[in-house]
Structure 1
Amino acid sequence: MAMRGHRPVLAVVCLALMSVVSAVAAVNVALPDIARETGASQTQLSWIVDAYALTFAALLLPGGALGDRFGRRRMLLAGLSVFAVASLGATMTSEPSTLIAFRALLGVGAALVMPATLSTITATFPPAERVRGVAVWSGVAGAGAVLGLLLSGALLEWFSWRSVFWINVVLATVALVGTARVVPESSAPDEASRDVVGAVLSVAGLGVLVYALIEAPTHGWLSAHTLGGLAVGVVVLAAFIAWEARTARPLIDPRHFLRAPFAAGSLSLTAQFFCFFGFIFAFLQYLQLVRGDSPLVAALSLLPLPLGLMPAARTAPKIAPRLGQARLCGFGLVLAAVGLTVLSTADTSTSYWVLAVGLWPLGLGMGWAMTPATAAITDALPASQQGVASAVNDLARELGGALGIAVIGSVLNATYRAGIDNAGLPGPIAEKARESVAVATHIGGPVQAQAHAAFVDGMQLALLIAAGTLVAAAVSVVLLLSRSRRTTVSSVRAVPSA
């Protein structure tokens, strides 16, 4: 079948992909409106964003395995149905806790949809058209977050925060109809993992770890609640790794990470998306609540980031052979860290041009680091295991995002709470102001000024931590990739000539 015959399938699966990818970041634009209308605290705002990212990341590998076993088309239909119903439910609530639950259900649907979209392309397209199809899929996956932010910003100029979820309903419904009409069924039941124990351990470990991180500002970082939660999460994840290493058909074989390029690429992508989604969570609140920008202006303010990222991603394949994967990836991570460091200087009166100067190198660095990181993962495994490489590539991004929102949001929240002095305010109002910068902004006067200063302090510290994370990742990635190159060269030299 020519590419023309596959275009409807490609269009439908990319629309499904766009629906779930854009939902990761799009809700960030609506957070100030959600906080004002629902009274959500900073901790609850973290959960509203991260409930989706967490369930998405934790169920991504099991979701792919279900598609392999029972059929990718079936999983697309099931996932899009769950996604649409959960989005519809979110439009009908005004309770933060209920909204968090619907966001978690959205993540379940997304985990069924995303792996099925790529697997449909690789399983049903002929080899001559498969590369082009995967390239289009990769472009949509990369641009989805930015497009989601811009679309949400435009909607919020005229409609309430519920419009962000209504657009999910529309996109998922159209994709659902398209899947039923044009997407063929495909499966690989003999190759599918049936690792139920691994799935339970991964979900439990990540869930407990993220819960402890997000709730730390409320209970205290050194409290038994926080330290116990972190310890339990780490132990359960260690049990997951041990189980995966010994089971016959694991969700992911941890021995792959003993390959230096595979480990380096996974670490780089995890660190990048840890910082990116954590940054988006904090920065969009800063633009709207502290600077007073509208949702659309806030979304448009981020444009220097994709204007750096997209050209860099296109030029990276040409630069990598000359500079080397290790140097390019390391340089990109350091450049992104420089961008975050510039952005960490932002305060209540910073000129937008200073922000633009930070956003552009952040995007440029991510573009140069992302391509060699993805290549390192895919090149480390043989052709027969490219499905594993694709799954780990997706998992690194979603897991990094979930952890980034949890850590960056927690640091921001803890610093904000510590910087609020509510002396002279009635008890309930004082506590509300301490829990939410949106409430403090609504109160106005000295409380608003103090809240804005405290929020800026928290954002500055959080972005510096993110920058430090990227520098540490750059050092580790360069060491891993350089060691791999030296090992390869040594092995080649050791082979006797014929």
Structure 2
Amino acid sequence: MAETSTRSTPTLDAAADGLSHRARIWLLAVASMDVLLVISSMVALNAALPDIAVQTSASQSQLTWIVDGYTLALACLLLPAGAVGDRYGRRGALLLGMAVFLVASLAPTLLDSPTQIIVARAAAGVGAAFIMPATLSLLTAAFPKSERSKAVGIWAGVAGSGAIIGFLGTGVLLEFFGWQSIFYALAGAALLMLILTGTIGSSRDETATPIDWLGASLIGVAIAVFVLGVVEAPVQGWGDPLVVGCLAAGILLGGAFATVELRRRHPLLDVRLFARADFATGAVGITFLFFANFGFFYIVMQFMQLVMDYTPLQTAFALAPLALPVLILSATVHLYLPRLGLRGSASIGLLLLAGGLFLMRFLTADATFIDLAWPLLVMACGIGICTAPTTSAIMGAVPDEKQGVASAVNDATREIGAAVGIAVAGSILAAVYHGALTPHLSPYPAEIRDSATDSLASALRASELMGPQGGQLATLAQDAFMQSMDHALLVMAVVIATAAVFVAVWSPGRDGRQAGFIRHIRRRGAHRASGPASSAQTGTGP
């Protein structure tokens, strides 16, 4: 097996010395706004889907891909795009991505058929794939190690709040304008950020190592196929041959990628990094953090709008306070991380997140905002404590010259976690809702039964068409939804609590070392693996 190149490079601290404090702060502001635009765009169209369906006659499948086309293109291109930024210049990759995002966001204002919108959103995802890793790798190259954790914390806090900002912006726009206004806003923001991004400095891998295009192709296809299976699972079912085939193919291609990377002189990603406790903890933490975030948003937005009867704008304003603890705790990571360590920060954050999800199960159909607010506060504190340390762990474990790829790993785990979270939450919600409601629908006509079991939104529309007789149907559907929400939140809470236990056991503490029994197990495994070879070489076998 060929060894990974160890050619020396200038350190990031040396590169950072050439920038003034004001230039670094400006870079941090621009990079944070860039990533905020990308994350906000992921959720911007969710509230506008009913209007898009009416005006474009889009089917349910087309509506799904208007949202998921962006995520799929973004996820599968992150690692190759990060490598391009490392090799040819991170600001150049950022400018290229922003230009593509700008054009793709403007296209649906002129071409408005469902297929054209799907293609445009996928193209915007391609642009976003070049933006996301470049923003974080530019920061790690610009800030010296003494200031880097604070800068990364601010970036992570902004990224973690991006979905809430996206919901809020969309809610305001739809309150006064049509769905096309979202694309005008995205294009206008992209134009502004394109101009501002041109004012910041750049950095790149000074060794100019070649890009591993074979590895890039393998991991890109692996993530694309896997995420495709995850996206289709709630609609087709987890046992559907297409879903199972996509998930299996994604895992197999991921294995092929790992095998290829271990044999290349200049790998796209040194997969042995996943054996490092800090890198593995960061990847697991980010994945499950976004699994919970986006699965929760998928559930709670339906609960607030269909059960609490909030408008999209009211929903956005109700969720907005969630961003404050995330931003504050992420920006102050340099104060508590040295005291808690990665193990304490990540495990406590995930446990708080699991606790908040569990507490959400006690909400009832007549819940008030106060009933909703305090579980949200618990979740927000968990997200804030966990986000920045896990991001810093990934970035700190990777060589200086590969920060773009490290940032892409961080971003890819976010996208995969978000996709799986939505799919799992959606699948549980649909299955339990259907099973709980169906036995009570025998007195209703077949067309009412079919519509009501599709979703709570469909059931409420059917109940309105029935007039005064529809009140009982609405109550039955809401009760079924509350049962399904309870099951989904419980499963998600258990998954996140399990991830917290893994982090508590596996991750390094304040001294940078794993727990003693974990080190002992790893040493024994390494000794057994090398024992026969050592005996053969020394001639002292048993």
**If the TM-score is normalised by the length of the shorter chain, which range does it land in?**
0.7 to 0.9
Partner of residue 441, structure 1:
460
Identical residues among aligned pairs (%): 41
Does the residue aligned with 2:249 lie in a helix, a strand or coil? helix
Q: CA RMSD in A?
A: 3.5
The structural deviation recorded for 1:20 is 1.1
Answering whether residue 219 of structure 2 is matched by residue 202 of structure 1, we say yes
Question: How does 1:79-94 map onto structure 2 within 5 Å?
Answer: 79-92=97-110
Equivalent position to 1:476, from 502, 519, 525: 502
The structural deviation recorded for 1:218 is 3.5
The structural deviation recorded for 1:65 is 1.4
Partner of residue 105, structure 1:
123
Answering whether residue 135 of structure 2 is matched by residue 117 of structure 1, we say yes
Does the residue aligned with 1:485 lie in a helix, a strand or coil? coil
The structural deviation recorded for 1:8 is 5.8
Answering whether residue 379 of structure 2 is matched by residue 353 of structure 1, we say no
Equivalent position to 2:486, from 445, 460, 478: 460
The structural deviation recorded for 1:173 is 1.3
- Whether the 8 Å contact between 2:337 and 2:389 is mirrored in structure 1 is yes
Answering whether residue 91 of structure 2 is matched by residue 62 of structure 1, we say no
Q: Residues 198 and 433 from structure 1, CA distance in 2 versus in 1: closer, same or farther, beyond 3 angstroms?
A: farther
The structural deviation recorded for 1:299 is 0.9
Compare 344-353 and 361-370 and name the one that shifted more.
344-353
Q: Residues 223 and 19 from structure 1, CA distance in 2 versus in 1: closer, same or farther, beyond 3 angstroms?
A: closer
The structural deviation recorded for 1:275 is 0.8
The CA deviation string for residues 259-312 of structure 1, in whole angstroms up to 9 with x for no partner, is 112111210111001110121122223222332211121011113422433343
- Whether the 8 Å contact between 2:40 and 2:166 is mirrored in structure 1 is yes
Question: How does 1:322-401 map onto structure 2 within 5 Å?
Answer: 322-381=339-398, 386-401=403-418
Q: Residues 114 and 378 from structure 1, CA distance in 2 versus in 1: closer, same or farther, beyond 3 angstroms?
A: closer
Partner of residue 533, structure 2:
none
Distance in 1 between residues matched to 2:482 and 2:111, nearest whole Å:
30
Equivalent position to 2:293, from 276, 280, 283: 276
Answering whether residue 246 of structure 2 is matched by residue 229 of structure 1, we say yes
The structural deviation recorded for 1:92 is 5.0
The CA deviation string for residues 197-253 of structure 1, in whole angstroms up to 9 with x for no partner, is 222222322222232233234433333333333222222222222222222322221
Distance in 2 between residues matched to 1:431 and 1:32, nearest whole Å:
19
The CA deviation string for residues 301-326 of structure 1, in whole angstroms up to 9 with x for no partner, is 11342243334335554344444432
Compare 127-136 and 144-153 and name the one that shifted more.
127-136
Number of aligned residues: 490
The structural deviation recorded for 1:35 is 5.5
The one-letter amino acid paired with 2:514 is R
The one-letter amino acid paired with 1:302 is L
- Whether the 8 Å contact between 1:193 and 1:251 is mirrored in structure 2 is no
Equivalent position to 1:18, from 26, 36, 48: 36
The structural deviation recorded for 1:38 is 5.6
- Whether the 8 Å contact between 2:221 and 2:250 is mirrored in structure 1 is yes
Equivalent position to 1:52, from 70, 77, 80: 70
Q: State the TM-score, normalizing by the size of structure 1.
A: 0.85
The structural deviation recorded for 1:419 is 5.0
Compare 240-249 and 88-97 and name the one that shifted more.
88-97
Distance in 1 between residues matched to 2:393 and 2:55, nearest whole Å:
45
- Whether the 8 Å contact between 1:42 and 1:436 is mirrored in structure 2 is no
Q: Residues 208 and 173 from structure 1, CA distance in 2 versus in 1: closer, same or farther, beyond 3 angstroms?
A: same
The one-letter amino acid paired with 1:21 is I
The one-letter amino acid paired with 1:485 is Q
Q: State the TM-score, normalizing by the size of structure 2.
A: 0.79
The CA deviation string for residues 416-471 of structure 1, in whole angstroms up to 9 with x for no partner, is 455554765565x7656554544443332255444444444333322222211111
Gaps of 5+ in 1: none
Q: Residues 451 and 246 from structure 1, CA distance in 2 versus in 1: closer, same or farther, beyond 3 angstroms?
A: farther
The CA deviation string for residues 67-96 of structure 1, in whole angstroms up to 9 with x for no partner, is 233333432332122212222233456655
